[in-house]
Chains A and B, each alone.
Chain A
Amino acid sequence: MEIALLFSLFMSFFRIGLFTIGGGYAMIPLMEAEVITVHGWMNSSEFLDIIAVAEMTPGPVSINAATFIGYTTGGLPGSMFATLGVISPSLILILLFSRLLMRVIQNPSATSFLNGLRSGLIALILLASFTLGQSAVIDLPSALIFAALLIGSVLTKISPLYFIAAGAVLGLILFPY
């Protein structure tokens, strides 16, 4: 049972690492699917909390999220398997297939493939913001926080850290205690 859980944590995060192309928020829809939809390891609110913590701490966001989700799901071994899972595709591709990788990336068809894939990625990230939004935008104050920060982050290039900090402050003020 325990080993089965560790194996599925590793495989889930391996798939997340393997299909996150372009980094950053590209991993959100994949992680949401693996962690919430397929395995039910946590709900949307817990997932958003973990993404926020992963964003506020140093280091790559998806490695941070993998460690945190791995720990809450399977303790210390869980965090190790999830983290190894998310970094393994990069290691394997670069260490074993770097020459093949170069040839594939320089092929014009690869550009067409990646362009099409990115259209799909945008659709998925939009969709993820709707599905995750249902557990975050739950009343008028949270809707106001969402709208204000969305406008701010679309129109400026300020670091995401400040928007999370702003969300925290607004939450303290507007929370229906």
Chain B
Amino acid sequence: MQNQEIETSNSLSLWTILVTFLKIGAFTFGGGYAILPVIKREIVENRKWVNDTVFSDILIITQGMPGQLALNSSIQIGVRLRGTLGGITAAMGVTIPSFLILLTIAAYLYPLIRDNIYMEAVFYGIRPAVVALIATAAIKMGRPILHGWNGIILCAVLLVTAIITGIPPILILLIGGLAGLVVCKGACKQ
């Protein structure tokens, strides 16, 4: 990474990086899996800042680490282009449009429409839609992950544990991870 940094620095201005990621942040809807193809088209195909292999490596790290997929991959691309400053610039680029748009909605639009009867009707229909999308996410994420009995039983045990004890989600995740270490130790290869 250090070598690549030296090779590519100076060739790209932070301003160019900022503008590129501002565009990605401002014109893509739906988060992670919707934004990644746009980042790929813009960064790999149009601007050729990183090649396919590097982008695949970035995706592997992105999916194995915490945080937003779009944010993680943007920071990593920024770092490869211009080091730490490049990473911070890319993060700002992908965050600022979200921040400004949602700030405007929360501060000016939402108070105006909140008490309107038709907006109430709209959100009356949108809430079950969002819950359906959340349930769908669980089902679709579950398909590849719960491939064996180990995963299904672990998921069921954790679900019951969460319902009965009400312990914080972070603990459930950590217990799941530790159980994965114990259960899968050499036994389940991907």
Contacts and interface: CB of A to CB of B under 8 A. Distances in A.
B25 to A, nearest CB: 5
Nearest to A146: B128
B66 A63 contact: no
Contacts of B134: 25, 28, 125, 128-129, 132
Indicate the member of A57, A72, A136 with the most B CB atoms within 10 Å: A136
Interface in B96-126: 97-99, 101-103, 105-107, 110, 117-118, 120-126
A119 B158 contact: yes
Contacts of B79: 94-95, 98
Contacts of A161: 29-30
A33 B168 contact: yes
Interface string A89-113: 1110111001101100100011111
A68 B131 CA distance: 19
B176 A19 contact: no
B54 interface: no
A41 interface: no
Contact of B65 (A21, A57, A79): A21
Contacts of A175: 120-121, 124-125
A87 B66 CA distance: 10
Contacts, number: 370
B30 A116 contact: no
Mostly, the B contact residues are: helix
A52 B188 contact: no
Interface string A61-84: 111100110011000100110010
Interface string B17-33: 00000000111111111
A119 B126 contact: no
B124 to A, nearest CB: 4
B12 interface: no
B180 A87 contact: no
A118 B99 contact: no
Contacts of A58: 25-29, 97-98, 101
Nearest to B137: A25
B127 A48 contact: yes
A153 B180 CA distance: 30
Task: List 6 A-B pairs, minimum CB-CB distance, nearest first.
Answer: A116-B180, A171-B125, A167-B129, A120-B176, A59-B98, A175-B121
5 contacts: A17-B66, A53-B102, A90-B68, A132-B130, A143-B128
